[in-house]
Structure 1
Amino acid sequence: MNIFRLCGDMTHLLSVVVLLLKIHTIKSCAGISLKTQELYALVFATRYLDIFTHHVSLYNTVMKIIFLGTSFTIVWYMRHHKVVRQTYDKEQDTFKHYMLIIPCFALALLIKTKFTPLEVLWTFSIYLEAVAIFPQLVLLQRTKNIDNLTGNYVFLLGAYRGLYLLNWIVRYFTEKGYRQWITWISGIVQTALYADFFYYYIKCWRNNEKLHLPS
């Protein structure tokens, strides 16, 4: 494991910690898209089906359990916690996320490395993760005031993907025969979706202004 992979994983984990801090401590999910959180829960559920059958390392297994557990915990909080669910911006979070699920699954059936149930679902999770942030970005554009924790959460998610791009570049030049075109292309698409957000996040941070995105 190279430093970029480790930093990517830790950044991803930190993004989850920031979101759980907002939800559990402040008892608020304002500005957070339930649609995106449900998509992430589906991503991890379909990607980690091999958690008890394919052991890579203790680190790998622990990280899988953490992301599975936290993703469904966040969804539960937003749907069922009597205080948190009242802060959910349901009227603004209207993106039809099934419009992302269906094309991603169809694409996984057409473009995959092997035609097995686990491989199709793993490929589906890669495609879906690439676009899962889309409902969240749409919600942020509709929200007039973006609090610091929400902005930091989205920034950390984007930074995690950027670090993974660097990880893939390092592996390409250091591991003979390393090729993962599906993962690479999906990762590039996912990172590109954050470009506009990164621009305004960094601009507002440098000017010491409250984060806001153009509608």
Structure 2
Amino acid sequence: MKASKRPIHKVAAWVRRQPPKVKVFLAVIIGTAAIVFLRMAVHDHDKLFAVAEAVHALGISVLIYKLTKEKTCSGLSLKSQELTALFLAVRLYCSFVMEYDIHTLLDSATLITTLWVIYMIRFKLASSYMGDEDNFAIFYMVIPCAVLSLFVHPSTGHHLLNRIFWGFSVYIEAVSVLPQLRMVEPFTAHYVFALGIARFLSCAHWILQVLDSRGPLVAALGYGLWPSMVLLSELVQTLILTDFCYYYVKSC
């Protein structure tokens, strides 16, 4: 058993000794290889988005277990949950008026569970809420995202207000996890890791759709800066979570 672990330990030790630039390069190589594998293994790349939402739901279920079994919400960011509920609600509205598909149902389920988590933190388990540490100013995230969505949004044939809402939900989603990263504890680490996996799958979904250039999603994106901003938003949130996921796997 020890012999089988030695190569893994040697590789891990070698990676730890490398400078940050080399680690970033290795992360890019691994991420690219994973996307290539997904492109070859998954024929319908739109399913990756559904899988990403399912992984997100799995992370939410971990929170539900923590809240119901341990009767505590310590280490859980209320502000991250509120930002998550915000982008889900806006995206759900856009989904109802613009496309309405399986993602609408998945988002509905995730929004309901997120609202339940918010209710538990605010009213049932308020005594264990770490409000002093959950002090990230979400005002400085919501306002820039709202302003950016006014100028960069989908160029499709839908109503302007709906296109602005769509852009706003994408930008808010990209930064919604930031308050939670300041409060990670051993139990909530599983939830954040699930978010990281979901974010990578979602990012891979967008990249593969753009590469294929034949999917309905690409046609819906329109033209201008919007397609680039969608990919940039996905990459930003993926990179935000990559560092945490690295240390999570390392600790496991």
Task: Give me the TM-score of the superposition, normalised by structure 2.
Answer: 0.72
1:90 aligns with 2:126: no
Match in the other structure for 1:152: 190
CA shift for structure 1 position 189? 0.5
CA shift for structure 1 position 25? 2.4
Match in the other structure for 2:59: 15
Paired residue for 1:193, among 228, 233, 240?
240
CA displacement, residues 36-67 of structure 1 (integer Å, 9 cap, x when unaligned): 1111111111111145444533x333212102
1:67 aligns with 2:96: no
RMSD: 1.9
Which structure dedicates a bigger proportion of its chain to helix?
2
Match in the other structure for 1:80: 123
Alignment of 1:171-186 (within 5 A): 171-176=209-214, 178=218, 180-186=227-233
Query: What SS class does the counterpart of residue 36 from structure 1 fall into?
Result: helix
Distance in 2 between residues matched to 1:37 and 1:48, nearest whole Å: 16
Conserved? CA contact 2:59–2:194, under 8 Å: yes
Match in the other structure for 2:200: 162
Which amino acid in structure 1 is aligned with residue 250 of structure 2? K
Which amino acid in structure 2 is aligned with residue 69 of structure 1? I
Distance in 2 between residues matched to 1:152 and 1:17, nearest whole Å: 10
CA shift for structure 1 position 127? 0.4
Which amino acid in structure 1 is aligned with residue 199 of structure 2? R
Shifted more, 161-170 versus 84-93: the winner is 161-170
* Counterparts in 2 of 1:4 and 1:24: CA distance versus 1, 3 Å: same
CA shift for structure 1 position 194? 1.0
Conserved? CA contact 1:22–1:28, under 8 Å: yes
Conserved? CA contact 1:43–1:125, under 8 Å: yes
For the pair shown, which has the larger CA radius of gyration, 1 or 2? 2
Distance in 1 between residues matched to 2:65 and 2:130, nearest whole Å: 18
Structure 2 gaps of 5+ residues are 1-43, 222-226
Paired residue for 2:148, among 90, 107, 113?
107
Distance in 2 between residues matched to 1:45 and 1:56, nearest whole Å: 14
Task: Give me the TM-score of the superposition, normalised by structure 1.
Answer: 0.83
Identity %: 32
Match in the other structure for 2:89: 45
Query: What SS class does the counterpart of residue 172 from structure 1 fall into?
Result: helix
1:30 aligns with 2:68: no
CA shift for structure 1 position 159? 0.6
Distance in 1 between residues matched to 2:179 and 2:208, nearest whole Å: 31
Distance in 1 between residues matched to 2:201 and 2:126, nearest whole Å: 33
Query: What SS class does the counterpart of residue 194 from structure 1 fall into?
Result: helix
Which amino acid in structure 2 is aligned with residue 192 of structure 1? L
